[in-house]
Each structure stands twice: as structure tokens, then as C-alpha cells.
Chain A
Amino acid sequence: MDGAAEGTPKMHGCPVTQSHGQEVIHPTREQYLDVAKSLADEGYTMALDLCGVDYLQHMSRPLPYGIVPERFEVVVQLLDIGNRRRTRLRVQVPESDPVVASLFDLHPGIEAPERETYDMFGIEFDDHPDLTRILMPEDWDGHPLRKDFGLGSIPVQFKEVHA
């Protein structure tokens, strides 16, 4: 595995992989903010999107050497308008302590997507100015896009009728 570790390209100290021709950077939670800052200095000035993924049923996903898979991932899409290129950050977030730094100070436009991710996955963003639910009602229990959030159903008529 040492060979694989050396073979993995690095950027700002984080492993970089290619996914279908797209560049993906894997920072740890500690590196996340610094990497985003360095990338912003390099031209990635727009954070287009941020979303969460709950890998509860798919913990065996391929990750570069040295990255420990956790239940949650925060995925950030960055865009460099000057050089017309994109990159993606994938940050592992453990279930026991689902807290990530907020990108708000760097990219104010990430405010609503971070709220959405909090709402849907219960991942908290440190130093977010207004971390409240955005799509669900504020008295809602649970976070709907988690894989262990049960799908509801309502009774329908004639379901029991068989030919």
C-alpha cells in the first residue's frame, strides 16, 4: 500500500483523485477550510453547491489511501470562472460528531446550501450565521435524507382487495 500512497497525487496536502474525468480533492475536516481558502486564492472563487451524502449502506466505497471512510460526506462543488475549470471537495464527517467548519466567511453564497445540508442530514456547520431548518418545518423530528430515516406511507383504500 505504500506504493499506492506515494502514487496518489496530492494538492495542498490532500489526496486528489479523478472521477469520470473530474478532479476530486479529499481534505480532512481539519484541512477543509484551509484547502478551500488556498483554492480560492488559486481562482476557485465560486462555491456553486454543497450537499451531503449519507453512506450508511455503502461504507465500502473506494477512497484514496489514507482517507478513513465515515458515515457522512460533505461534497462541495467549486468553480474557477477565470480558467473555466471545476473541482470538488469531499470531506468525511463522522456520525458521532457531525460538525464541519462553515465556508460562509469565504463564500457567502454557500449559506443556503449549508442550511439545507443541516436540515436534511443533521450535519452542523461551525460558525454558520443562521443554522436553522430551511426546507422542513422547524418542529420536524429527524433529518429526512439520512438513510435510516424511514419512508412514510399513508393508508390507501382498496389495497387489501384481491381478485
Chain B
Amino acid sequence: MSTTEEVTAEAEADAFDEAPVSTPDTPSYAVFIPNTDEGAQLLKPRSQTTARELMREVGSVLRMSEAEAAQLGELPEDPEEDQTMIINMGPQHPSTHGVLRLMLEMRGEEVLRCKPIIGYLHTGMEKTAESLTFMQGGTNVTRMDYLSPFNNELVFSMATEALLGVTDEIPERAVWIRMLMSELNRMSSHLLFMATNGMDLGAVSMMIYGWREREEVLRFFQEVTGLRMNHNYIRPGGVAADLPVGWRDGVLRLLDLIPPRLDEYDILMTGQPIWRERLQGVGVITPNEALALGATGPIVRSTGVPWDLRRDMPYLKYDEMEFDVIVGSYGDAFDRYAIRLAEIRESMKIVRQILEAMPEGNYRIQDKKVTPPPRARIDESMEALIHHFKIFTEGFKVPEGEVYVGIESPRGEVGCYIASDGSPNPYRMHMRDASFTNIQCLPHMMRGGLVADAVAVISSVDPVLGGVDR
């Protein structure tokens, strides 16, 4: 027997009292099992953690400083090791909305500690962005938080326009189209939340209804952009194409269709005792905690902090719109559900105002540096053809500088930081994704709860892993 085999056999003997028989023909998979719960990113058992490390870890799990964690006084007591176990939830668990993996330290049904482990969907999109031009960048960012593609495109376009210095020259119609799409996107995203939240808590019919209504909104997106998701419709300088003939009817149809359905949701869920029992008082977070953890969107609003970038730092034409910022008062999962339901109604209010105010005019900026010439001109003019070719092969140059723009996506603040070195590609593009920061609240919301509540908590944070991992 060679040395390697001896070592392997020893490892097996350590892992199990009886070493499994392993022959070359039938490899024992027990050899691999110890490897699945090792590694720096993972939650370590308490016996392998020194007191100081544990203190730090508790602090980090609560996302609090060590001093603050010590002040809590009520650190989770150190139970005997054999009373607790560390289990994996995900990354393939249906209630983790994609590939979120949670390591939970459990005592019976009670969650003592929790650590979200992410990165399973990481595809290096920020690196990819560096090799795409500003013109192509929209196709990349739209795939990040794939449930709010228009918001991603919008924030990327706004950052690019700020660098180009053309923010004030964007045609009125383009601005209003952007706002229309952004609000419809908020509706579709929240409708999907209704579906997944229902599914996670066992209201399976809600899942079907939520998807059904979202599909109606996506059908309108398809009429306008040609695609249901990943549109690349909002681009630096305006939008890709004008609204199609009959768009007004499409929007009006949605506005007629959805309100009665929302009333049905109220009957099905909001007033229902089981639904309330499952959500009220679950996953509570205080305003101070939410702000310290950098949470934005419905999470921070559920604690009663009326922070909505559309109202507080208006972009596009939101300062001319009349709508309410919905806030909760308890910071629990029910508040987050109710806020999203009410925000669909508020978005429809905004969409109605947009319908009345939509001006005629250009849908993209008439700056030759940024906008390719119209198709008809290419047939007539050699210069237009060259110009078209140059823009699509080389892209347009963006002046040196750096800028950060943040807007309110359905999940909170989505921000785009671009540093440009004067070339047609962003030198560095970073997206501040709302879900990435929001999932830091999970350990805090789950601590001391039941494992069944953990599902409700994940659902109420509404993370989109495409945005978390980018």
C-alpha cells in the first residue's frame, strides 16, 4: 500500500468509526464528505472557534461592532456542542430564490447563528463590463438584477450620461419613457415577489396568480422592446426605439386588469389569519439596525424610515409626480409584504400620470457623437454609413472622470460607479446592488427564530441572486 492510500484510509477512519471498505473499483465517497464542510468562507463549529473569534463572529453575524455586540449582553448562550448542529440550507433549496446558501447553527428548531454564503452565480460581470463599450454595456448590466432590468439599464445610462455631460440634453420623451418602463418594472418585480412569497409560505395558488399578472406586464415589455427580460432598451442617450403604435392601449389594459387582481390578493392573503400568523412579528429589524446594515428599499421602509430616492433625491421627473412613500411600523415580514403590495398601487398611480403627461418628440439624444444616424440616412450618405460603422465597432469615447449615480430599484438603491479613462470602454464599472447589501440583514432577522420562519425571512428580503453575485 502506498503512502497516499494509507493517509486516505486514516482520514476515513477519523471520519467514521468503521473505515469504509474502499477498493480501486468502488471508490468510497466518504472520503469526499469531510471536504464539503471545510473552508474559510464557512460557518465553523463553536469548538473550533476561540472565545475572541466567537465574539467577533457573533458581531459579524449580527453585523455589529464587537463593542456593540458585547453591549447586547445577551449573546446567544454557549450551548453544549452536542446540542447544536450546523446544517446547510441551499444552494439548491427552492425557497432560497436561486442559489443562496445559508449555514445555520440549529438547536432543535431554533436558529442560533446563520451565515449566508454567496458567489454561486458569480460570472464576473464587472470584469466583463471592462471589455464592453459603453454602447454594449447595457446588455451586461441588464442581466445583473434580472427582475429589474430597466432599473439597471437606467442607472448605467444615467452614469454614462453624467460622464458625457449630456444629462440635461436628454429629450423629454425619452425621460418619460424611461420613467414609464421603470415603474412598470417595479410592478412586475413586486408581482413576482407576491408569487414567490406566497409559494414560500405554502400559498401555492398565489404563486400561479402572481406569475400570471407579471406575465401581463412582461407581455407589454415584449411589445415595446421585443424581449420579456434583459431588454437593453434604455441606453446612454435615450431609449433604443420609440414606443410602438398602440402602446397606450397596452398600458391602459394593464391599469384595468391589475387593480381588481390586487383586491383579490387582499382577500386571499392580507386578511387571512394563517398568512398573518406566518408573517407578523417574524424577522423583525429596527430602524437603527437597518440603517447601520446599509439596507435600502422596502426593508428600511418597513421599519418606518420614509426613505425613497424617488421622493428624497428625485431623478427623471419624479419630482413632478404625486405618489406616497409607503412605510411600515414594525419592521417585520408582514410589513415588507404589505409595503410591496401598496407600492404596486402607487406605481400604477404614477403610470396614470405618465400617460397624461407623455410628450411627443425625440426618443434619443440628437448628439452625433452618441447616437448612430437613422437607418434611412445610411442608404443616402456615405458619411452616415461610416459614422454608423464607427459607433458600432469602436463605440463613443467618454471623457475621463468618475461618477456615482443611485436610483430606487424595486429592491432598494441600485447604484453605478463608473471610472472612465477617456476610452470607449469603462475603465472600471461597479454596481452597488441592493440585494447584495440587503442579505446582510438575514442573520440578524433570523437569530432566535424557527427554521420555518427562516424561509419567510429570506422571502421577505426578496434577494435576486443574479444581482447579489453579479
A interface residues (Cβ-Cβ under 8 A, vs B): 19-20, 22, 24, 45-49, 51, 53-54, 57-58, 61-62, 75, 77, 81, 84, 86, 88, 104-113, 116, 120, 129-130, 132-138, 144-145, 151
Min C-beta distance of A133 to chain B, whole Å: 6
Taking a contact as CB atoms closer than 8 A, the residue among A57, A81, A137 that contacts B119 in the complex is A137
User: B57 — which chain A residues lie within 8 A by C-beta?
Assistant: 129-130
Q: Cβ of B440: which chain A residues have Cβ within 8 Å of it?
A: 109, 111-112
| Nearest CB of B to A149, in Å | 8
Cα separation A35 to B305 with both chains bound (whole Å) = 26
- Of listed A20, A86, A106, residue having the most chain B CB within 10 A: A20
Determine the distance from Cα of A84 to Cα of B204 in the docked complex, in whole angstroms. Answer: 41
Find out whether the CB atom of B39 lies under 8 angstroms from the CB atom of A138: yes
**Residues in A neighbouring B56, C-beta threshold 8 A:** 129-130
Say yes or no: A62-B403 contact (C-beta < 8 A), given A108-B63, A151-B131: no
A-B contact pairs, 25 of them (CB 8 A): A22-B404, A24-B402, A46-B291, A48-B294, A51-B417, A53-B402, A54-B428, A57-B421, A57-B427, A75-B430, A77-B406, A77-B417, A86-B313, A106-B65, A108-B68, A109-B292, A109-B295, A113-B436, A113-B437, A130-B57, A133-B119, A134-B119, A137-B119, A138-B39, A151-B127
B420-454 interface bits toward A, Cβ cutoff 8 Å, 1 = contact, 0 = none: 01000001101010001101100000000000000
Report the separation of the CA atoms of residues A33 and B293 in the bound assembly, to the nearest whole angstrom: 18
A144 touches B127 (CB 8 A): yes
Chain B nearest CB from A45 CB (Å) reads 6
A45→B292 CA distance, assembly (Å): 8
Measured in the bound complex, the distance between the Cα atoms of B63 and A99 in whole Å is 21
Q: Is the CB of B63 within 8 A of A111?
A: yes
Q: How far is the CB of B156 from chain A (nearest CB, A)?
A: 15
- A137 to B59 CA separation, bound complex (whole angstroms): 24
Q: In the docked arrangement, what's the CA distance between A86 and B291, Å?
A: 15
Find out whether the CB atom of A20 lies under 8 angstroms from the CB atom of B162.
yes
A104-B65 in contact given A81-B291, A88-B404 (Cβ < 8 Å): yes
Within 8 A of A (CB), among B280-329: 291-296, 305, 307, 312-313
Does any Cβ of A come within 8 Å of B259's Cβ? no
User: What are the 6 tightest A-B residue pairs by CB atom distance, in nearest-first order?
Assistant: A109-B294, A129-B60, A49-B432, A108-B63, A109-B293, A135-B119
Q: Mark B119-154, 1 if CB is under 8 A from A, else 0.
A: 100101011000100000000000000000000000
Q: Is the CB of A84 within 8 A of B312?
A: yes
Contacts A113-B436, A134-B118 aside, 4 further interface pairs with beta carbons under 8 A come to A49-B430, A112-B440, A129-B60, A134-B119
CB-CB < 8 A to B165: which residues of A?
A: 20
- State in angstroms the CA–CA spacing of A106 and B68 once bound together: 10
Q: Which of B364-420 contact A (CB under 8 A)?
A: 400-404, 406, 413, 415, 417, 419
Interface SS, B side: mixed
Which residue on chain A has the smallest CB distance to residue B124?
A: A144
Please indicate which of the listed interface residues B67, B430, B436 has the most CB atoms of chain A within 10 Å of its own CB: B430
CA distance A110 to B294 in the complex (A): 7
* Contact of B111 with A by CB under 8 A: no
- Smallest CB-CB separation from B162: which chain A residue? A20
When distances are taken between beta carbons in the complex, the residues of chain A under 8 Å from B430 are 49, 51, 75
Is B127 touching A145 in the complex (CB atoms < 8 A)?
yes
Give per-residue flags for B25-46: 1 if the beta carbon is below 8 A from chain A beta carbons, else 0: 0000000000000011100000
Instruction: Please pick, from A19, A51, A116, the residue contacting B401 in the complex, using a CB distance under 8 A.
Output: A19
**Chain A residues, Cβ within 8 Å of B312:** 81, 84
CB neighbours of A109 from chain B (8 A) = 63, 292-295, 437, 440
User: Could you tell me if A75 and B41 are in contact, using CB atoms closer than 8 angstroms?
Assistant: no
Is residue B332 contacting chain A, with contact meaning CB distance below 8 A? no
| Given A108-B64, A112-B440, A129-B60, A81:B403 Cβ within 8 A | no
- C-alpha spacing A90/B404, complex, angstroms: 12
* A105 adjacent to B65 (CB under 8 Å): yes
Contacting A at CB under 8 A, from B96-126, are 118-119, 122, 124, 126
| Residues in A whose Cβ lies below 8 Å from that of B122 | 135-136
- Please give the distance in Å from A136's CB to the nearest CB on chain B: 7
Which partner residue on chain A sits nearest B290 by CB separation? A109
Count chain B CB atoms within 10 A of each CB in A58, A108, A134, A151 and give the residue with the most: A108
A116 to B431, CA, bound (A): 12
Q: Does any Cβ of A come within 8 Å of B66's Cβ?
A: yes
Contact B64 A75 (CB under 8 A): no
Asked if residues B127 and A133 are in contact (CB atoms below 8 Å), the reply is no
A132/B40 contact (C-beta < 8 A), A48-B432, A104-B65 known: yes
| B305 neighbours in A (Cβ, 8 Å) | 81
